[in-house]
Structure 1
Amino acid sequence: MLTFEKSTLIDAPVERVWEFHERADILSLLTPPWQPVKVLRREGGLGVGAITEFEIQLGLIEMKWLARHTDCVPYEYFVDRQIEGPCQSWVHRHQFTPEGNQTRLTDTIRLELFGGEIAEFLLGSFVIDRLEDMFTYRHQVTQRYCPLPIN
């Protein structure tokens, strides 16, 4: 099993960062432009049972990625699990921790690749590097959108 974690201190209170993640267009905003990902649907917001469906291009292969939110405590965290997609398993926890007037945004992903330990040995560092690229972008976008304007 591979584990990835990215944590950033966002210059905004936890309520603002959470509400940013509730936006209807959030997946389009947080998807890096270089990724071959198309958002097909998003239903249910951040709560338990919410569904997100993507179409992704992996080389010459096009596949569907379906995730369901399985746990949620508003303004603290939500968890999505892959139901169908490119990984054997995928669990993504989005954590929102207040630190004064700021928010510690932490994304933790635990995943297993098809092919088990051999695939993880051969492809694990590549996958982790791609996740680092994607979540660096996502956290930068969150940092850009969330701070309150200075009056």
Structure 2
Amino acid sequence: MKTYALIIKQNLPLTLAEAWDFFSSPHNLAKITPPEMDFVVTSTYNGEAKMYPGMVITYKVSPLLGIKLNWMTEITHVEEGKYFVDEQRFGPYALWHHQHHFKEIPGGVEMTDLLHYAIPFGVFGQLANGLFVANKVKEVFEFREKAVVELFGEYKGR
């Protein structure tokens, strides 16, 4: 299985507590996901629940051609205020391992995403990744970067 990696960094004009509170809540994901993906959290737990290792989150998402898919991730690691990891348990990828790291910097927080993913279907999946999946994944993160600036403003440092 061929895996792909993506590293994204973004500086935020937020305190560490503000960044953690926003990004560690699954219910904020729809705010930073492209609307055409029709992303909906379907988990039935209380939205105020604190993230914890073993937490399972379910979604409906339309990543391609408006086709609705079920997606389930598990929060496998959490160190409050520092990082958390979500891993796909069921969904469109053969592998999805997404680390979210937060670090205080002058005037805000540096957020780093480290994503490893793989597409099913062997050589056909590799072809699909080269033709459109890789670009779609990058577009989602580019949308998120712009959405975060709209929500919280531009990072200006100190």
> What TM-score comes out, normalization by structure 2 length?
0.80
**Count of aligned positions:** 147
1:70 is aligned with what amino acid? T
- 1:1-151 to structure 2, matched below 5 A, reads 1-23=3-25, 25-41=27-43, 43=45, 44-57=49-62, 58-59=64-65, 61-124=67-130, 126-146=132-152
Q: Tell me if the contact between 1:17 and 1:142 (Cα under 8 Å) persists in the aligned partners.
A: no
Alpha-carbon offset, residue 117 of structure 1: 4.6
The unaligned stretches of length 5 or more in structure 1 are none
Distance 1:112-1:133 versus aligned 2 partners, 3 A rule = same
Regions of 4+ moved over 6 Å: none
| 2:34 aligned counterpart, secondary structure | coil
1:59 CA displacement: 3.3
Distance 2:85 2:99 in 1: 4
Alpha-carbon separation, structure 2, partners of 1:24 and 1:118: 31
Q: Secondary structure at the match of 2:42?
A: strand
**Contact residue 27 and residue 41 of structure 2 kept, 8 A:** no
Distance 1:60 1:21, change over 3 A: closer
| Of 134-143 and 71-80, the range deviating more from structure 2 | 134-143
Q: Residue 118 of structure 1: CA displacement?
A: 4.5
Identity of aligned residues (%): 21
Task: Name the CA shift for 1:30/1:100 in 2 (closer, same or farther; >3 Å).
Answer: same
Output the CA distance in 1 between the equivalents of 2:88 and 2:76.
10
Deviations 1:18-52 (CA, angstroms, capped at 9, x unpaired): 11224463122122112133321264543212221
Instruction: State the Cα deviation string for residues 75-100 of structure 1 (Å, max 9, x = none).
Output: 11100000000111110111111112
Structure 2 segments unaligned to the other structure (5+ residues): 154-158
Q: TM-score, normalised by structure 1?
A: 0.83
Cα distance change, pair 112–22 in 1 and its aligned pair in 2 (3 A): closer
